[in-house]
């Protein structure tokens, strides 16, 4: 059995869709429904990257969206984490090597957690967000150590 962790605070998540079939987007919505109820763990979807701790990215990234995704990433306060949801964002999926795709998301912005699947199950998405949460808390501890 894994080590249980108490998180210090809620985790706010911003979702950016690069233009996918929306299957991953629907699974993210399923994470928020009463069946999975991610808000009971403190995971909340927010409408602005300036308030977010984690960036969820879905879909293959078209060339014209790559700059916008970089800008969204730069607007997020530190410490932050990026979670790629689904195969399209991880490898390009069915859009691999397409003329209009900027490449996998890790060629556009740094990625911390990958959640593979087409689409991934809501449980896998929650697991990926928790891994990002642990990374952020580790970064916060390192920042606190440097300040002392």
Q: How far apart, in Å, are the Cα atoms of 29 and each of 81, 90, 117, 130?
A: 20, 20, 16, 17
Residue bearing the bigger pLDDT, 25 or 1 = 25
Domains of the chain and any CATH numbers: 11-147 (3.40.50.12280)
Over range 3-14, report the average pLDDT.
Answer: 71
Residue 134 Cα to chain centre, angstroms: 13
Q: Is the per-residue pLDDT at 20 higher than 80?
A: no
Over range 86-98, report the average pLDDT.
Answer: 83
Q: How would residue 148 be classed by pLDDT, with cut points 50, 70 and 90? A: low
Q: Residue 1: its pLDDT value, please? A: 40
Q: Residue 3: its pLDDT value, please? A: 52
How far apart (Å, rounded) are the C-alpha atoms in residues 73 and 50? 9
DSSP states of 24-93 as a string? HHHHHHHHHSTTT-GGGGTEEE-S-GGG-SEEEEES--BHHHHHHHHHHHHHSPSS-EEEEESHHHHH-G
Write the pLDDT tens digit of every residue in 29-67.
Answer: 898 888 888 888 888 888 999 999 999 999 888 889 999
Residue 80 Cα to chain centre, angstroms: 10
């Amino acid at each position: 059995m894994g080590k249980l962790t108490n998180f210090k605070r809620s985790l706010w998540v911003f979702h950016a869709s690069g233009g996918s079939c929306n299957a991953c987007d629907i699974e993210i919505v399923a994470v928020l429904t009463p069946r999975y109820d991610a808000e009971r763990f403190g995971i909340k979807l927010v409408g602005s990257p300036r308030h977010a701790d984690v960036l969820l990215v879905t879909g293959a990234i078209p060339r014209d969206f790559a700059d916008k995704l970089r800008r969204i990433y730069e607007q997020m306060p530190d410490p932050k984490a990026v979670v790629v949801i689904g195969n399209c964002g991880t490898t390009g999926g069915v859009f691999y090597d397409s003329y209009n795709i900027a490449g996998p998301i890790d060629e556009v912005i740094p990625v911390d957690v990958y959640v593979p699947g087409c689409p991934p199950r809501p449980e896998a998405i929650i697991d990926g967000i928790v891994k990002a949460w642990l990374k952020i808390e580790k970064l916060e501890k390192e920042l606190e150590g440097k300040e002392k």
